[in-house]
């Protein structure tokens, strides 16, 4: 496996933003993931696991550690009866469409979410009250020390947009393969559900984004709060709160990570001051950012 240096991460994120990774590798099998972990341990540097980069904002200065990218060379899929095993880099969309061809489904309304299956597990990705966590039977992981383990659904702490992989020490575990339980479905029903979801998503902002920037606080969608505060359309540099959807911050073309970050902090400060609500980001922030000017 080749370990590359100073690789621009903007090519690997949906924002098209992100400075260079000091080290970058794309393992094709679990043994190579283990090699990458050993490399990071020997150099005593942090590591970051990147899927399709649709939920991360990476700083303009990049990352001093190692990025382990599980992509298309780590995306094999096996389907045996109603049991499915997907490698981490497999696109959630690809999974949904491949299952549909075999008249299998359950979570087809998640069609259009642009991430990988592992990213979906970590985030417990969901839409229209359907959550991927409800279909996960187990995940195979590698620990930071290089041990292989299988963790059952009950150990994974799924809740709204979160899983155990967002808490210490599990945030350093790397998901290798995901076992899913799926249901037999009528082909037309699946196709209709996929079509409806994709249609709804066509109403969303189409410029580069990470989807929803903030988690919904209890009782009110974050987008509605932002809309009620009259913040839609506001810009910082080349980043904008989407005029169509308050919870999307879009890259108008040429935005820096700092531009997006400045908008995030601005929205949080406004909502805190006016409504007393602390908005938490759904998007993950990697690397260093400067505090925006007051």
* Joined tokens for residue 186: 């009528």
Per the annotation, the verdict on 199 as an active-site residue is: no
Q: Which residue has the tokens 């599990």?
A: 170
Candidates 177, 197, 212, 236; catalytic one: 212
Residues 147-166 that bind ligand FAD (CB under 6 A): 165
Exposure class string for 274-292: b at 16+ Cβ within 10 A, else e? eeebebebbbeebbebeee
Binder to ligand FAD among 77, 127, 130, 229 (CB under 6 A)?
A: 127
**Smallest gap from residue 274 Cβ to ligand FAD (A):** 27
Binder to ligand FAD among 105, 106, 126, 246 (CB under 6 A)?
A: 126
Beta bridge mates, 239: 236, 251
Q: Which helix (H) or strand (E) holds 35?
A: helix 30-43
DSSP, collapsed to helix, strand or coil, labels residue 159 as: strand
Of 172 and 238, nearer to ligand FAD (C-beta) is: 172
Residue 123 touches ligand FAD, criterion: CB under 6 A: yes
Per the annotation, the verdict on 187 as an active-site residue is: no
User: What is the greatest pairwise CA distance in the chain?
Assistant: 58
Dihedral of the CA atoms 57, 59, 65, 70 (nearest 10)? 30
169: preceding bond cis by omega (within 30 degrees): yes
Q: Which stretch binds ligand FAD (CB under 6 A): 113-121, 145-153, 222-230, 256-264?
A: 113-121
Residue 120 touches ligand FAD, criterion: CB under 6 A: yes
Binder to ligand FAD among 7, 25, 40, 50 (CB under 6 A)?
A: 50
Per the annotation, the verdict on 185 as an active-site residue is: no
Residues in the site for ligand FAD, rule: CB under 6 A? Answer: 14, 48-56, 70, 88, 113-116, 118-120, 122-123, 125-127, 165, 174-175, 209-211, 284
């Amino acid at each position: 496996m080749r370990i590359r240096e100073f690789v621009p991460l903007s090519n690997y994120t949906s924002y098209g933003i992100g400075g260079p990774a000091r080290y970058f590798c794309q393992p094709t099998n679990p043994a190579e993931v283990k090699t990458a972990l050993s490399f990071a341990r020997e150099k005593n540097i942090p590591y970051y696991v990147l899927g399709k980069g649709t939920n991360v904002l990476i700083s303009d200065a990049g990352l001093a550690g190692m990025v382990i990218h599980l992509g298309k060379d780590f995306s094999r899929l096996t389907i045996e009866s109603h049991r499915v095993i997907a490698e981490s880099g497999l696109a959630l969309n690809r999974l949904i469409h491949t299952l549909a061809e075999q008249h299998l489904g359950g979570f087809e309304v998640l069609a259009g979410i642009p991430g990988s299956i592992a990213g979906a597990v970590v985030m417990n990705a969901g839409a229209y009250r359907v959550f991927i966590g409800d279909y996960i039977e187990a995940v195979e992981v590698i620990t930071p020390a290089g041990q292989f383990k299988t963790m059952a659904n009950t150990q994974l702490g799924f809740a709204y947009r979160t899983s155990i992989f967002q808490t210490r020490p599990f945030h350093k575990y790397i998901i290798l393969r995901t076992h899913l339980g799926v249901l037999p479905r009528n082909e037309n029903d699946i196709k209709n559900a996929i079509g409806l979801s994709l249609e709804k998503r066509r109403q969303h902002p189409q410029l580069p984004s990470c989807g929803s920037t903030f988690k919904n606080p209890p009782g009110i969608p974050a987008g509605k709060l932002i809309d009620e505060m009259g913040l839609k359309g506001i810009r910082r540099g080349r980043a904008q709160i989407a005029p169509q959807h308050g919870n999307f911050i879009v890259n108008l073309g040429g935005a820096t990570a700092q531009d997006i970050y400045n908008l995030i902090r601005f929205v949080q400060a406004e909502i805190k001051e006016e409504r007393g609500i602390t908005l938490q980001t759904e998007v993950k922030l990697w690397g260093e950012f400067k505090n925006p000017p007051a």
